[in-house]
Chains A and B, each alone.
Chain A
Amino acid sequence: MSKPDTTPSGWLETRLPIVSAFRREYVDFAMPRNLTYLWNFGAFATIALALLIVSGIFLALNYTPSVAEAFNSIEMIDRHVSSGWLVRAIHMGGVSMLFAALYVHMARSLYYGSYKAPRELLWLTGLGLFILVMIAAFAGYILPWGQMSYWGATVVINAMNAVPLIGPALASWLLGGEGLGSVALHRIYVLHFVTGFSIVGVIVLHVAALHVVGSNNPTGVEPKASDDVVPFHPYYTTKDGLGLCLFLMVYAALIFFVPDLLTLANNYAMANPLVTPGDITPEWYFAPFYAILRAVPSKLGGLILSAGSLAVLFAVPWLDRSRVKSARYRPMLRWAILGLFLTFIALGVAGMHKPTGLWLAISRVSVAYYYAYFLILLPLLPKIEVTRPLPASLRGESV
């Protein structure tokens, strides 16, 4: 037993071992040595979230959640609060960057089988996080009380009303009884930041789950020997740091040079309950789900398909029974999953257009393939595919 540590950090360590915990989890933690840059995106998402929370708090200092004042308070932030335009830009840009990082992060997990045993809970907590992020984003978008805010909220709340049994009650709780007005806005405001803070808590669970089982890697072969792994610091701190700089460069280019690229200009007009804008489109990150919603003529059917597209993701660890994790070694799945990614992108583009003619056809085909991938291909492929031989260790075939 070493002699008692009399330094200040030693004092802290005996009372709350955060120093050693930090060292164990974020310095010495063993990571597979072959992770690509695709493994950086969880860290990017965390940084985007941190920026969203900090900018959100500072925006909250100047925002008023009432129908009369919401739009004006945001204009005040944008025009007259010192550096308010920048705080707002960081917040608006942060949402797009967060969703972008999350989509890549989830795609990585689907491709490399990071949802398979023993990482099922990691996948489930991650999906829970994604749903919380969607709720927070939806609520946050209503707050400026622009045309798109109001009518997007109207569409979603009407969709919520269509859910059997619990729908009308949920919608009524959200609205506070009357139609979409100050009471609803105030509740949505509280929903927005409570959800945001909850996300931080669930991230703790997600990372804790990760640290029990360790990261997956591009081969899907678990580390077996000590030279399969490297310590998180300095290897992945530097790799994450480099990736983060590139991520932040895209973020900065977005908010400083093309701020109107991803925002819907119509939201700069104050909400008018009597006039619906010609084209209601959601923000780009919700477009795929919006396309699914409008792919079928039935209101409830569209809702079921759209919610189902998320629900089916929860079942993925049990739908896919292949023992081979990584799509690198599953040639048939590789094509199928690339098709899935293209389908999702197609749904996104279709969601930004009116659901007629070609776009409707694309939506329908895409929804069909999306469900076919999860419900048919994933369970079926392990039975019929020929996988490439797995390498002996994650260091690759050469060893």
Chain B
Amino acid sequence: MKRYLLVTLMALPLTAQASTPEQRGFQVYRQVCATCHSLNQVHFADLTGIGLAVPDIKAYAASHQVPDGVDDDGDPKTRAAHLTDPIGSPYPNEAMARLANHGDVPPDFSRLAMTEEGGAKRIETILRSYAPKPVDVVLGPGSYYNTAFAQNHIGMPPPLRDGQVAYADGTKATIPQMAQDVGAFLDWVAHPHRVARSDTGLVVLAYLAGMTVLLALLKRRVWKRLKESRQ
């Protein structure tokens, strides 16, 4: 009996694996942000890059419906998304996006951490800077009070609240935590192949450094001949 208890206790840490910020950020994206924001350039299959298991990705893709031409009656039909499809937009077209968001289109996330001045850190700051509107401030409909902006307002309603998401590894889902995780996820989305890039770069620089040394030696040897023979 004691042996079985011990084995179970040892197995427990293996089932609740620590997740990375990008994985947690993806979970927040999926449950909160994807309601309004699109991810048009990232394919479902790309999510293996943050360590998601293939069956989970397949299930996620299967839960999305994408347009699939017309059926025999001439009506548009849909199918479940394939792994090579883009994660896409929650809205079927731009007009619906504007209708649902008082005339604005929620920006696509694919490169937001790059085009937003200040990058992922700025996005995190924006998410953390919602505050109750002071009494003397007047905001139009569709504007929400946010101290991260010079004019103190933003068109996006506060998306995060404490405990909104139940992280798989038990991390407490406070607003700062979720903001940070979303920032990490968007940073990963905006910089594809970042790891491969730096790894390749190290190899290339090491190779070039070696060649520099060798060529410096050869060059010196060649040019020394000049000094020797032609005084």
Contact = CB atoms under 8 A, between A and B. Distances in A.
Contacts of A241: 215, 218-219
Contacts of A235: 222-223, 226
Nearest to A235: B222
Contact of A259 (B41, B117, B197): B197
Nearest to A264: B115
B200 interface: yes
B215 A253 contact: no
A260 B43 CA distance: 23
Given A72-B41, A239-B219, A269 B115 contact: yes
B111 A269 contact: yes
A352 to B, nearest CB: 15
A255 B193 CA distance: 13
A246 B226 contact: no
Nearest to B110: A75
A49 B223 CA distance: 28
A291 to B, nearest CB: 22
Contact of A238 (B115, B198, B204, B215): B215
A265 B115 contact: yes
A246 B201 CA distance: 15
Contact of A234 (B42, B201, B208, B222): B222
Contacts of A260: 114
Interface in B8-55: 41-43, 46
B216 A253 contact: no
A211 B215 CA distance: 26
Contacts of A230: 226
B192 interface: yes
A256 B200 contact: yes
A249 B212 contact: yes
A361 B205 CA distance: 42
Contact of A86 (B200, B205, B211, B216): B200
Interface in A72-98: 72, 75-76, 78-80, 85-86, 89
Given A241-B215, A242-B215, A252 B197 contact: no
B3 interface: no
Contacts of B117: 265
Interface in A167-182: none
A245 interface: yes
Contacts of B42: 79
Interface in B43-73: 43, 46
A78 B230 CA distance: 54
A266 interface: yes
Nearest to B189: A79
A248 B219 contact: no
A33 interface: yes
A227 interface: yes
A78 B192 contact: yes
Contacts of A76: 41
Given A75-B41, A257-B201, A246 B219 contact: no
A193 interface: no
B197 A85 contact: yes
A269 B115 CA distance: 7
B212 A268 contact: no
Contacts of B226: 33, 230, 235
B198 A252 contact: no
A75 B86 CA distance: 12
A86 B211 CA distance: 21
A45 to B, nearest CB: 18
A116 B54 CA distance: 67
A238 B192 CA distance: 38
Interface in B126-162: none
Given A79-B41, A238-B222, A256 B204 contact: yes
B211 A252 contact: no
B108 to A, nearest CB: 8
Contacts of A33: 226
B48 to A, nearest CB: 13
A246 to B, nearest CB: 6
A266 B115 CA distance: 5
B192 A248 contact: no
Contacts of A269: 111, 115
A265 B117 CA distance: 8
Nearest to B213: A245
Contacts of A234: 222
Residue from B190, B208, B218 whose CB has the most chain A CB atoms within 10 Å: B208
B209 interface: yes
A242 B219 contact: yes
Contacts of A75: 41, 110
A253 B204 CA distance: 9
A35 to B, nearest CB: 11
A226 B219 CA distance: 21
A75 B40 CA distance: 10
B230 A249 contact: no
A238 B219 contact: yes
A85 B192 contact: yes
B114 A242 contact: no
Nearest 6 pairs of A and B residues by beta carbon: A256-B201, A268-B111, A238-B219, A245-B212, A242-B215, A75-B41
Interface of A: 33, 72, 75-76, 78-80, 85-86, 89, 227, 230, 234-235, 238-239, 241-242, 245-246, 248-249, 252-253, 255-257, 259-260, 265-266, 268-269
6 contacts: A76-B41, A85-B196, A234-B222, A242-B215, A242-B216, A259-B197
